[in-house]
């Protein structure tokens, strides 16, 4: 691969979704999901803990929608409630950051190949794949449910890195909002940006724009 006009030091970029392109769910969205689940209103923290405790296996494709929500709720939801839960959960994760998308538009138009590497369950993966931004901007998208493993497992990074075609991992930038995910990428030789919401950091890393 040859250097791009955007950033002469990069052959490609691999980006996380949630916390980078995707905005974190709001408190209202969490409360809506908890109400949908018929969870006690005063115990939102308990609901969030139940959601996160079961999430790694769900994201890794080891649990169906039904099995995941049965673990969260402690009982199997009926078909109607299951659809409502899945829809409310998916909606929480599909709001994107316009600032980040604008930077990615510039990187894409300049010729930098962009790849998505996200911890996401099967249904959310399908929804993200169908978005306009993913179809236009991403050379290829990788999701944990399809990979059958979640970041920071090295296997997830290796599959995305191989797809870039880069001979030198130091010429591939990995962007994630979690430090542990970045550290795992660094151990494989990738250049990393621990993204904390500062759009100037992303511009500097992807577009070679001084921060």
pLDDT tens digits along 93-124: 999 999 999 999 999 999 999 999 999 999 99
Query: pLDDT tens digits, residue range 149-166?
Result: 999 999 999 999 999 999
Structure tokens at 100: 């980040």
Q: What confidence score (pLDDT) does residue 9 get?
A: 86
The stretch 73-92 carries a mean pLDDT of 97
pLDDT above 70: residue 5: no
pLDDT, one tens digit per residue, over 18-61 is 999 999 999 999 999 999 999 998 999 999 999 999 999 999 99
**Residue 13 is inside which H or E element, if any?**
strand 12-15
**Is there a contact between 115 and 160 (Cβ–Cβ < 8 Å)?**
yes
pLDDT tens digit sequence for 157-206: 999 999 999 999 999 999 999 999 999 999 999 999 999 999 999 999 99
Distances (CA, A) of 67 to 86, 118, 186: 12, 21, 34
């Amino acid at each position: 691969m040859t250097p791009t006009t955007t950033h002469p030091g990069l052959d490609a970029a691999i980006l996380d979704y949630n916390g980078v392109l995707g905005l974190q769910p709001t408190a209202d969205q969490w409360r809506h999901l908890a109400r949908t689940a018929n969870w006690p209103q005063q115990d939102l923290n308990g609901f969030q803990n139940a959601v996160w405790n079961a999430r790694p296996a769900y994201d890794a494709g080891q649990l169906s929608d039904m099995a995941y929500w049965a673990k969260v709720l402690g009982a199997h939801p009926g078909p109607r409630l299951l659809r409502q839960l899945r829809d409310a959960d998916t909606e929480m994760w599909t709001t994107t950051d316009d600032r980040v998308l604008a930077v990615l538009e510039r990187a894409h138009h300049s010729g930098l190949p962009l790849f998505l590497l996200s911890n996401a369950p099967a249904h959310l993966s399908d929804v993200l794949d169908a978005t306009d931004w993913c179809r236009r901007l991403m050379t290829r998208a990788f999701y944990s449910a399809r990979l059958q493993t979640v970041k920071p497992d090295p296997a997830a990074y290796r599959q995305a890195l191989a797809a870039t075609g880069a001979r030198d991992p130091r010429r591939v930038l990995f962007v994630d909002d979690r430090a542990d995910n970045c550290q795992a990428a660094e151990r494989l030789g990738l250049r990393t940006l621990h993204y904390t919401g500062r759009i100037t950091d992303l511009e500097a890393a992807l577009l070679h724009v001084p921060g």
